[in-house]
Structure 1
Amino acid sequence: MTRLQYLALGYFVALMIAASINYIPGLTDADGLAFGIFALDPYDDALHVASALWALAAGLISHKASRTFMILFGAAYLADGVFGIFTGYGFLDMGIFTHASLGLDFSLGRFLANLPHLGLGGLALVAGLRARTA
């Protein structure tokens, strides 16, 4: 197994944790906000599980599959985080289609709410683009 395959397996674990946040007592507040910052709904959970299963399959299949996952997943999640900064909603969970834009906001809260997608997406994209082709 290559490092990129292990990274894909790490993404599987991270995404499954993200999908389970709403179901672990104490991680959401009275308003349903995870860590008091952002709300996760069943669409988000489904997106995280689907992404996790894609990461698991890629990591187990090959270096090339892991590289493809990292590039595509990374670009999609990074773009989703950028959309979140600009509109308050992402496109992966269809939020930009079901809610009116909240407008551009560079507040700490908006940044923290989008940080998981910015961070995971950015790291995956860089890792995938820097990885050697097999």
Structure 2
Amino acid sequence: MKYSSKKDWWLGLVIWGAVGYGAYISTYALVTEKANLLGILITVIINLALIGFISWLWFTTYYILEEKELIIRSGPINKKIPYREISSAHKSLNPISSPALSLKRINITYQFGMALISPKNRDEFLQKLSERCPNATIKYD
């Protein structure tokens, strides 16, 4: 079962606003400074790469509950966590960097670490996760 990441509107505003502002500033600098062809090419390539990378993260962040493992996808991140390794999961507002596009997150603790994810429907996700991880401590509050 695939769950898309919840996307906070304000986070989208910050991320896309920063990308747009960076593109504006670099374009403005090119126009006012009369840049040479190499400068223009480098600026365009960097801007396109940044927009492409942010788009990749924004549009490909999701989570899949497979038969034997949880798959976390976000751009270049492709993490697989076997259900037998998951020890707990609970709702969280932890703001540290993670493959989540919302601060309404789920903190999953497993044998080799911790993952923060933000599926659109946290309660449904936790319910389905608890069905697959009967030995894990799953908290809904």
Question: Which has more helix, going by share of residues?
Answer: 1
Q: TM-score, normalised by structure 2?
A: 0.33
Q: Pick the structure with greater CA Rg.
A: 2
TM-score using structure 1 length: 0.34
